[in-house]
C-alpha cells in the first residue's frame, strides 16, 4: 500500500499543475501566527505526517521538503520515512532557509503559491526580497480541496473576565489603545494575534489546546470596535457565549462574523478610516490583501504585547493566588510521588497530577502538556510521555516534572526535579549546579533598562564554570490566564533588547541534560519588581511566585555560597509556612522534613 | 578683551559668508578617524577651547554648538563660557544628534560644509539621510586659512618590528589580506585606520601621544602595496626611519608621499584595479572623492580589526613579558606610595611612576595619561591630575592610580586602588564589592560564541546586589604595542555581538565612584584562552596578564565567597612568586606581607 502522505503530496502536485503553480509553501501556523495552531491548521502534519511543533513545507514539481530545527531532527527523520519528503535542517550553521533555498533553484519567474491565510505579510516580504522574479500567489485554504474531512474553525464557549479578575476594563484598554492610535496619527488598528485580542477584550475561549483563546480578528477605530468571531456557531441564547456577546455589545463592541473581516476591511475607506496600523509579524497575507486600494496602511509593531506583559496589581494578586493553589497541588503530588516510587510510571504520575489540578476551583485546564520524565527520559529535549509503556519511576535517581495550570485568575508553569532514592555523585553535582544558577538569577538585582540577555549568564555561570550548559533559554514571559509563553521580554542568550520592567513575569529554568542518563531542570516563575532607587539608579529584582520546595536531599551543600544557602533555606521555609495550613496533615508533616534548613 | 574663541567663530562665519556655506560641521577626529588626534587636528579645541576627548561642533549663521557626552558636561560648560558656543548634550534620553538637529532647522537646501578630511563617509551618509535636501560640500583643511600657526602633520621616527616581536611577517599579513580580497571578488583595499596599517606593516611611530602610530594610508592590491606617508620629512639617509623604509621597500612596499594618495587613487583604473574595498567607518570623505569615476567601490568592514585583536603566540609572550616588567614597576611604585603617603601629592606620584617605567628596556612611552587620584579626585570620571596644586596623598582613605606603558613587546593598562591608612566602612565595602566583580569576571568560564555584553553582568552583580554601579564599560580590547583601546570586542552593556575568542585581550575594570568621597577601580588585563572542549561545547576562560597584588588590608573578607577568596590568595601568591626574584629586597619583603592569604 502506498504511503498516505506520499499520496497527498502527489495530489498536491496535481493541483499545482492544474493551477500553474511551480512551488507551494505551507507553514505550521494559523491565520493569527499562533505558536500552537488548532487542528484545522495542522496542514504540515496532514500533508507530511510530521507532528513536531515547528515545521514548514515546500513542494516543487520534483522535490518535497520539511524545514524544522534541531529539536525535531530525530522525530522528523522517523516520521518522514516513506513519504518522499526530505528533511531540511534549521538552526544549524549550514542551514538554508526556505527563501534562500528557492532562490538557489534559479527558476525563471517561478509561480509560488502560499496559503495566504497562514503566511504573514512579514514572511512574504522576506520571500519576495530573496526571489525578486517570483510571482507569489496567496490562496486562502489552499489545501481544503484535497482535505475533505478537514476540521472546522473551532468555536468553543467564550467567557469574559470582569475587572475583579483582569484589573482593568476593556473600555480602559480600548481607551489606552485609541490614545496610542492618535499618537501614531492613525485612526484604526487591526489586531490579529489571538492573545492580544483576548487581553484587550477580557475574553477567553478554548479554541486552542492549553491556550484560552478565541479565533478572531479585532478592528479598533477611534469610535468603534468590531470583533470578528464565529458568531454563527453560537446560536443558543442561553449559553455562556451569548451572555458574553451581550456584555461586549453593551460595551459598544460590534460582534461580526469571522469571515466578514475581508468585506469590512475592503469597505473601510467608506467608514472614514484613512490610516490603519497593522503588525506584519502576525497579519496574514490574505487579510492584508483586503486592505489594498483602501486606507493608508502603516506597518508598525503592535503596542499590546509590551503593555500586556506588564501585569497590573489585580493580575499580580491573581498570579500569586494561582501559585498558592498550584503549590498545594504540587506538594501533594510530590508527596504521592515519594510514596509511590517503584509502583507507578511516568504516565500514571502525569494523570495523577492532572487530577489534583482539576480539583482547584477556577481551574481551566493545563497550560501545556505535562512533561513527566524519569531518568534518561528527562534528558530528551522534547519528551512526550507516552500513554502506553512509559518508564517506571524507580526508587533511585531523578524524576523531572514540568507542568502548569490555567486558572481564571492566572497561569502557572513549574518544573521540579526530585530524587526518588539514591543518586550518583554526578546527578548530585548536576542537580546542585543547576539549582545554583536558578538561585543566582532569582537573587539578581539590576538597574532599570537591563534586558534579559544581559543577565542570562547569571543563571548559567555556575554550570559554565564546570563546563556544562543547557541548550534552551533560561526564561520566557508568561501570560495572565493566557499563553504560558509570551513576549516581548525573555531571559536568554539572543540579543533581545526589550528591558525587564516591574510587573513582568518570567520563568527561571536552568537545567542540564545528559543523554541516556538524566535530565534536570529547576523552574520557578519570577515577578520583576522595583527594589528601590538611589543615586546609582533605579533598581529591580525578582519575587518568586512559585510555591513549592526544592528538594535538598540530593544537594551537594558544599557547592553553595552562603548567600545561596540562605536564599534556599528562606525559600523552603516560606513555602512550608504558606502552604501548611491548607495541606493534609501527612503531607504537611512530610513537607516539614523536606524544608529543614541545610 | 573679546574671548578668543568667540572671535574665531566670528572669523569662521565670515569665511562661511564668502563661500556661501550655511552650516559648518567640524569633528574632533583626524583623517583616519583616530580616537585621539594629533595636535594638527584638534580643530574643535582650537575653535571652542573645549579640550575633552569627544566633541563635534556645528556653526550656523546665528548659532554655534558643541555636541559632547555625559563625561564632559561640566568641563564643557566651564570651557565654553564666554565663547557664545552652546552645549548640546549627548548620551542623554533627550539627545538630538547633529543630523537630526540640522534637519529640525527645516532649511531649504542648506549648503553644509564639512572638513572632508575629518568626516567619514559613514557620517556623511547619515547626514545626507537626515537632511536629504542639503548640498554637502567637503572642503579639505577648511580651517587652515583661519589658523596661521596650525601644527604640521606629524612625522616622528618610524621603526619596524621583526617577526621575533610581532610573531608574523608583513609578507604573511599581506598574503592573508590578499586572500581575503580574492574571497571578496576585489583586487584592492584601501586601509585608512592607523592601527590597522601599523599592524599590517609591522611599523610603529609616535605621531599621536600615547599611540605608537604613523599618520599614513595603505593601498594594497593583489600584487602591490603602496604606503602613503610623509616621506619628504625623512631626509636623513642614516636615520632609523630611512632604515625602516629600506626594509619595507625590500619587502616590496612602495613608499609614496602622504599627499599623493589622491593622485594615486584617481588613476587606479589605469593600474588595472577594477574593484576596491573601503571601510566607511574610517574612510574620510575627501579621499573617498578621489575614487569617483574610478574602480567600483565596495563598502565593507575591514577584516583587520578582528584578526589584529586575536594575538598570536609571540604577541602573547610579549604581552606576558610586558606585564612582568610592568608588575615590577608597579610593586616598586606601590611600595614607594606606602612609604611616602603624607609627604607627596598626586602629581609627584604620577611623575615617580613614569620615571620607573622609563627605566624598563624597550619602554616607548606611556599608553595613556596616568590618572593619579587621591580620595575625592578619584570619584571624578575623567580626572586629569594637575601639574600644580594636586591633592596630597593623605595617610588615610584610598588612592587610585590608572596607568600603562607602551613597550616594544606589548602594551599594559593597570588600575590599583590602595588604602593609605584607615578606611571608612563604606570605603571597605565598596572596595570589596568592586573587587568581587573583578574576580568573578576573571574566574568566568563561558562557551565559544559568547559576546562581552553577555558576561558584563558577572562583573556588576556584586555591586548591583548592593544597589551600586559604575557608569563605564567593564572591559575594552587592548592592542599589542598599539592603541590601549581597540576593538572589535569589548565587555560592556552595549549589544556588541562580536564574540570573545582565544588570543583576545580585554581589560576587567569594575569600579565605584562617590562624588566628594572616593573612587575605586580594580583593573587587570585578561587574556582569553581555551579551557577545553567537551560534549557541552568549546569552553573559554581568562588568564590575568597583569602582575600586581590586590591590597587585602581594607577588604571585608566576610563578603567574599570561598571561590573568590581562593582566587585572590592564589593570584597574590603568584604575583609574589613571579616578581620577587627581581625586586629590591625591601620591596620583596614588603610584598610578602601584602600577599599573605586572607
Interface test with A, best of B443, B464, B497 (most A CBs within 10 A): B464
Q: Are residues B301 and B321 in the same domain?
A: no
Name residues 495-554 of chain A within 8 A of B (Cβ).
Answer: 495, 497, 531-532, 534, 536-537, 539
What are the C-alpha distances in Å from B465 to residues A531, A537, A542?
10, 12, 12
Domain annotation covers residue A423: yes
A151 lies in a domain? no
Q: What pLDDT is stored for residue A232 in this prediction?
A: 85
* CB neighbour list of residue A301: distance below 8 Å, 6 or more residues apart: A279, A281
Q: Quick check: is B474 in a domain?
A: yes
Last residue of a domain, one of B146, B167, B193: B146
Predicted local confidence at residue B293, as pLDDT? 86
A166 and A130 part of one domain: no
At A91 the pLDDT is 83
> How far is Cα A575 from Cα A569, in angstroms, rounded to an integer?
10
Q: What is the pLDDT of residue A272?
A: 87
The pLDDT, as a whole number, for residue A234 is 84
Residue closest to A86 by CA, chosen among A98, A77, A96, A94: A77
pLDDT given for residue A344 in this prediction: 97
- Inform me whether the pLDDT recorded for B1 exceeds 60: no
Find the range with the poorest average confidence among A19-33, A55-69, A378-392, A569-583: A378-392
Least confident of A413-422, B207-216, B231-240, B412-421: B231-240
pLDDT tens digits, one per residue of A70-127: 878 888 998 999 999 999 999 887 889 999 999 999 999 999 999 999 999 999 999 9
Burial class (CB in 10 A: 0-12, 13-18, 19+), B124: buried
Q: What is the pLDDT of residues A541-581, one digit of tens each?
A: 999 999 999 999 999 999 999 999 999 999 999 999 999 99
**Is residue A502 in some structural domain?**
yes
**Domain identity same for A142 and A168:** no
On whether both B508 and B411 belong to a single domain, the answer is yes
Nearest Cα residue in chain B from A440: B461
Q: Is residue A153 part of a domain?
A: no
Classify the C-alpha dihedral A128-A130-A131-A137 as positive or negative: negative
Same domain, B345 and B487: yes
Report the pLDDT value the prediction gives residue A65, as an integer from 0 to 100. Answer: 96
Q: pLDDT tens digits, residue range A15-46?
A: 999 999 999 999 999 999 998 999 999 999 99
Q: Decide: helix, strand or coil at residue B195.
A: helix
SS3 state of residue A100: helix
Q: What is the rounded distance in angstroms from the CA atom of residue B354 to the CA atom of residue A211? A: 68
Cross-chain Cβ contact A443/B454 below 8 Å? no
Torsion of CA A280, A286, A290, A294, to 10 degrees: 30
Q: Distance between CA atoms of B70 and A89, rounded to whole angstroms?
A: 48
**A225 lies in the same domain as A245:** yes
The per-residue pLDDT for A73 is: 86
Chain A residues whose CB is inside 8 A of the B539 CB are 464, 467
Total number of domains constituting chain B: 3
CA-based nearest residue in chain B for residue A444: B465
Inter-chain contact A469–B443, Cβ cutoff 8 Å? no
B477-495 residue pLDDT tens: 999 999 999 999 999 999 9
Q: What is the pLDDT of residues A419-441, one digit of tens each?
A: 999 999 999 999 999 999 999 99
A288 falls in which pLDDT band (50, 70, 90)? very high
Residues 272-301 of B with CB under 8 A from A: none
Q: Assign B334 a pLDDT band (cuts: 50, 70, 90).
A: very high
DSSP one-letter code for A421: S
> How many residues would you count in chain A?
598
Phi, psi at A282, each rounded to 5°: -130, -5
Apex B570 CA angle, B568 and B571, nearest 5: 65
Cα–chain-centroid distance for residue B16?
34
A120 occurs within a structural domain: yes
Least Cα distance to B65 among B92, B33, B97, B108 occurs for B97
Residues 6+ apart with CB under 8 A from A119: A25, A27, A138, A284, A285
Confidence at A271, pLDDT banded by 50, 70, 90: confident
The CATH number given to whatever domain includes residue A364 is 3.90.230.10
Q: Do A69 and A163 share a domain, yes or no?
A: no
- CA nearest B531 in A: which residue? A467
Could you list the residue range(s) of the whole structural domain that residue B107 is in? 4-146
Residues of chain B contacting residue A447, judged by C-beta atoms under 8 Å apart: 464, 469
Contacts of B443 in chain A (CB under 8 A): 465
A389-414 b/e (C-beta count within 10 Å ≥ 16 → b): ebbebeeebbbbbbbbbbbbbbbbbb
Residue B383, pLDDT above cutoff 90: no
The answer to whether residue A443 neighbours chain B at the CB level (below 8 Å) is yes
pLDDT value at A145 more than 70: yes
Is the pLDDT at A502 greater than 90? The verdict is yes
User: Percent of chain B beyond pLDDT 70?
Assistant: 100
Q: What is the pTM of this model?
A: 0.93
Least confident of B380-384, B391-395, B397-401, B436-440: B380-384
Measured between CB atoms, does B443 come within 8 Å of chain A? yes
A348 with A470, same domain: the answer is yes
Find the CATH number of the domain harbouring B205.
3.40.350.10
Q: What whole-number distance in Å separates Cα of residue B54 and Cα of residue B36?
A: 9
Same domain as A470, residue A384:
yes
> Same domain, yes or no, for A392 and A485?
yes
Select from A82, A81, A86 the least CA-distant residue to A98. Answer: A86
Weakest mean pLDDT among A380-384, B89-93, B240-244, B427-431: A380-384
> Quick check: B593 pLDDT over 60?
yes
Per-residue pLDDT at B72: 86
Interface check for B458 against chain A (CB to CB < 8 A): the answer is yes
b/e map A277-304, b = 16+ CB within 10 Å: bbbbbbbbbbbbbbbeebbebeeeebbb
pLDDT at A270: 86
Using a CB-CB cut-off of 8 Å, the residues of chain A touching B495 are: 453, 495, 497
Q: Flag whether residue A455 sits within 8 Å of chain B, measured between CB atoms.
A: yes
Mean pLDDT across chain B? 95
Is position A395 within any domain? yes
A323 and A301 together in one domain: no
Question: What mean pLDDT is predicted for residues B265-285?
Answer: 92
Q: What is the percentage of chain A residues whose pLDDT exceeds 90?
A: 91
Task: Report pLDDT for B284.
Answer: 95
- What is the distance between the alpha carbons of residues A177 and A302, in angstroms, rounded to a whole number? 10
Mean pLDDT of B133-151: 94
Q: What is the DSSP letter of A70?
A: G
Q: What is the pLDDT at residue B3? A: 87
pLDDT of A267 above 80: yes
Out of A239, A273, A308, a domain closes at A308
- Kindly report, residue by residue over A447-481, the tens digit of the pLDDT: 999 999 999 999 999 999 999 999 899 999 999 99
Q: Which one of A271, A288, A308 terminates a domain?
A: A308
Over the stretch A204-245, which tens digit does the pLDDT of each residue have?
A: 999 999 999 999 999 999 999 999 999 888 888 889 999 999
Structural domain contains residue A456: yes
B240 and B343 in a single domain? The answer is no
- pLDDT tens profile B61-109: 999 999 998 878 888 999 999 999 999 999 887 889 999 999 999 999 9
B249 CB neighbour count, 10 Å cutoff: 12
Amino acid at each position: 500500500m502506498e504511503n498516505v502522505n506520499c499520496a497527498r503530496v502527489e495530489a498536491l502536485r496535481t493541483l499545482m499543475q492544474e493551477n500553474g503553480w511551480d512551488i507551494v509553501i505551507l507553514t505550521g501556523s494559523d491565520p493569527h501566527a499562533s505558536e500552537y495552531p488548532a487542528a484545522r491548521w495542522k496542514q504540515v502534519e496532514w500533508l507530511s505526517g510530521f507532528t513536531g511543533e515547528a515545521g514548514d513545507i515546500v513542494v516543487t514539481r520534483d522535490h518535497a521538503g520539511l524545514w524544522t530545527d534541531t529539536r525535531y531532527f530525530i522525530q522528523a527523520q522517523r516520521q518522514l520515512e516513506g513519504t518522499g519528503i526530505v528533511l531540511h535542517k534549521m538552526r544549524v550553521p549550514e542551514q538554508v532557509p526556505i527563501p534562500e533555498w528557492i532562490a538557489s533553484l534559479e527558476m525563471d519567474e517561478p509561480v509560488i503559491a502560499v496559503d495566504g491565510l497562514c503566511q504573514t505579510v512579514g514572511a512574504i516580504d522576506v520571500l519576495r526580497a530573496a526571489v525578486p522574479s517570483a510571482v507569489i500567489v496567496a490562496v486562502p485554504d489552499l489545501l481544503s480541496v484535497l482535505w475533505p474531512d478537514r476540521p472546522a474553525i473551532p468555536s468553543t464557549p467564550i467567557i469574559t473576565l470582569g475587572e475583579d479578575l483582569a484589573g482593568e476594563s476593556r473600555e480602559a484598554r480600548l481607551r489606552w489603545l485609541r490614545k496610542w492610535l492618535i499618537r501614531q496619527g492613525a485612526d484604526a488598528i487591526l489586531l490579529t494575534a489571538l492573545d492580544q485580542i483576548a487581553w484587550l477584550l477580557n475574553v477567553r475561549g478554548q479554541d486552542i489546546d492549553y491556550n484560552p483563546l478565541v479565533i478572531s480578528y479585532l478592528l479598533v477605530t477611534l469610535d468603534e470596535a468590531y470583533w470578528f468571531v464565529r458568531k454563527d456557531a453560537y446560536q443558543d441564547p442561553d449559553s455562556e457565549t451569548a451572555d458574553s456577546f451581550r456584555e461586549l455589545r453593551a460595551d459598544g463592541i460590534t460582534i461580526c462574523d469571522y469571515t466578514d473581516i475581508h468585506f469590512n476591511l475592503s469597505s473601510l475607506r467608506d467608514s472614514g478610516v484613512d490610516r490603519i496600523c497593522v503588525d506584519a509579524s502576525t497579519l496574514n497575507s490574505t487579510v492584508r490583501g483586503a486592505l489594498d486600494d483602501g486606507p493608508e496602511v502603516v506597518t508598525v509593531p503592535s503596542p499590546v504585547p509590551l503593555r500586556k506583559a506588564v501585569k497590573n496589581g489585580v493580575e499580580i494578586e491573581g498570579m500569586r493566588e494561582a501559585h498558592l493553589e498550584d503549590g498545594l497541588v504540587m506538594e501533594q503530588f510530590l508527596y504521592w510521588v515519594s510514596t509511590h516510587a517503584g509502583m507507578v510510571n511516568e504516565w500514571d504520575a502525569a494523570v495523577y497530577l492532572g487530577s489534583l489540578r482539576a480539583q482547584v476551583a477556577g481551574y481551566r485546564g493545563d497550560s501545556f502538556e505535562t512533561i513527566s520524565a524519569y531518568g534518561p527520559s528527562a534528558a530528551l529535549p522534547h519528551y512526550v510521555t507516552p500513554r502506553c509503556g512509559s518508564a517506571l519511576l524507580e526508587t533511585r535517581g531523578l524524576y523531572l516534572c514540568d507542568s502548569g495550570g490555567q486558572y481564571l485568575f492566572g497561569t502557572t508553569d513549574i518544573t521540579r526535579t526530585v530524587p526518588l532514592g539514591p543518586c550518583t555523585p554526578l546527578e548530585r553535582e548536576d542537580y546542585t549546579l543547576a539549582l545554583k544558577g536558578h538561585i543566582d538569577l532569582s537573587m539578581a538585582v539590576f538597574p532599570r533598562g537591563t534586558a534579559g540577555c544581559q543577565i542570562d549568564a547569571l543563571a548559567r555561570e555556575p554550570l559554565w564554570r564546570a563546563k556544562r550548559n543547557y541548550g534552551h533559554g533560561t526564561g520566557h514571559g508568561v501570560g495572565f490566564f493566557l499563553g504560558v509563553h509570551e513576549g516581548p521580554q525573555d531571559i536568554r542568550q539572543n540579543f533581545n533588547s526589550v528591558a525587564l520592567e516591574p510587573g513582568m513575569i518570567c520563568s527561571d529554568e536552568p537545567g542540564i541534560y545528559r543523554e541516556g542518563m538524566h535530565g534536570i531542570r529547576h523552574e520557578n516563575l519570577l515577578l520583576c519588581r522595583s527594589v528601590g532607587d538611589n543615586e546609582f539608579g533605579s533598581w529591580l529584582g525578582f519575587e518568586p511566585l512559585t510555591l513549592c520546595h526544592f528538594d535538598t536531599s540530593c544537594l551537594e551543600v558544599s557547592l553553595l555560597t552562603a548567600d545561596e544557602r540562605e536564599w534556599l533555606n528562606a525559600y523552603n521555609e516560606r513555602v512550608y509556612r504558606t502552604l501548611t495550613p491548607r495541606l493534609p496533615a501527612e503531607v504537611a508533616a512530610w513537607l516539614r522534613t523536606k524544608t529543614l534548613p541545610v
